[in-house]
Amino acid sequence: MSLEIFKDNTQLSDMKFSDIKDIILALEKEYSIENKDYLLNIGSILKKDKRKTVQNLSDRILRFIKKNEEEINRVMDMYNFDKSFGKYTYIAGVDEVGRGPLAGPIVAASVVLNLNYNSDKDLILGIKDSKKLSAKSREELSEIIKDRALYYNIAEIDNDLIDSRGIGWCNNEVLKMAAIDLAIKPEIVLSDGYAVKNIGLKNEFIIKGDNKSASIASASIIAKVYRDKKMKGYSKKYPYYGFEKNVGYGTPEHIDGLKKYGPCPLHRFSFLKNIL
């Protein structure tokens, strides 16, 4: 349906509410700051319609614009945070997932973003600490990040090495692997929470970095999506522990399965001493 219907002095009374709403939803999906005034103008036209439902769409537009601008500013601050460390071309954010589970690997990711945005369309909106996102949002964002990142890398260490070397060593090692094995050598590595030892690269650690840094948040998301998918796949081979739901963490269902069936080859035996 043509968007000409939203020009000034256009009569909307012969249009169905559902058709008008569909057009608004389509416009929201393509929204950017550049067409803010256009969308606001549509809202003012809808406000004059006699139907309360159509008038409410005008209020929806205002709420949408406000929420979108807040998100743009939030993510822009994350990009600017990364840029504040210096005029680097390749800034890598690294983060890990899977330090605490009873089974499965520990996984880390590194991400190098293009931090030189020209408009809101250049930003990856929605990025944040992966634990604060729904599974669906994480999966969608993971694909966007991998598509738009300059470089990314995923590394993992299995449960056997965790048992033999300890989770502390493996945690540091997997972060180091994720950064060092990038296709390019990053000029600086931003890590979440603590420094990466013996990395051989300039490294800055940020407390709660996955809430502050665009690069770290992006790494957090793709690492978690990768590991969750892997653990859900393992649940088909080892169905007694609920891996498809708990991805290896020690939920009651998981512990019940351990006590009834014993551990499987994915379990970290060094983590089970107080359970079995």
Q: What is the pLDDT of residues 85-142, one digit of tens each?
A: 999 999 999 999 999 999 999 999 999 999 999 888 899 999 999 999 999 999 999 9
Question: Residue 9: its pLDDT value, please?
Answer: 45
Q: What is the pLDDT of residue 113?
A: 98
* Residue 214 domain flag: yes
**42 and 110 both lie in a single domain:** no
Contacts of 43-50 with C-beta under 8 Å, sequence gap 24+, read 45/6, 45/8, 45/10, 45/12, 46/12, 46/20, 49/12, 49/13, 50/13
pLDDT for 7 beyond 70? no
CATH number of the structural domain spanning residue 115: 3.30.420.10
Residue 260 belongs to a domain: no
Whole-angstrom Cα distance, residue 30 to residue 11? Answer: 24
pLDDT higher than 80, residue 11? no
Same domain (yes/no): 97, 216? yes
Give the residue ranges of the annotated binding site for a divalent metal cation: 95-96, 192
Mean pLDDT of the chain: 92
Residue 175 domain-assigned (yes or no): yes
Residues 124 and 41 in one domain: no
For residue 190, the 8-state DSSP code is E
Same domain, 70 and 100: no
Structural domain for 9, as ranges: 3-83
166 Rama class: left (phi>0) / alpha (psi -120 to 50) / beta = left
**Model confidence pLDDT, tens digit, residues 209-258:** 999 999 999 999 999 999 999 999 999 999 999 999 999 999 999 999 99
Distance of CA 151 to the CA centre of its chain: 16
Q: pTM to 2 decimals?
A: 0.88
Whether residue 64 is predicted with pLDDT greater than 70 in this model: the reply is yes
Beta carbons of 71 and 150 less than 8 angstroms apart:
no
Per-residue pLDDT, 5: 55
Annotation: binding site:
95-96, 192
Report yes or no on 30 lying in a domain: yes
CB atoms inside a 10 Å sphere around CB 197: 12
Question: For the chain, how many structural domains are there in total?
Answer: 2
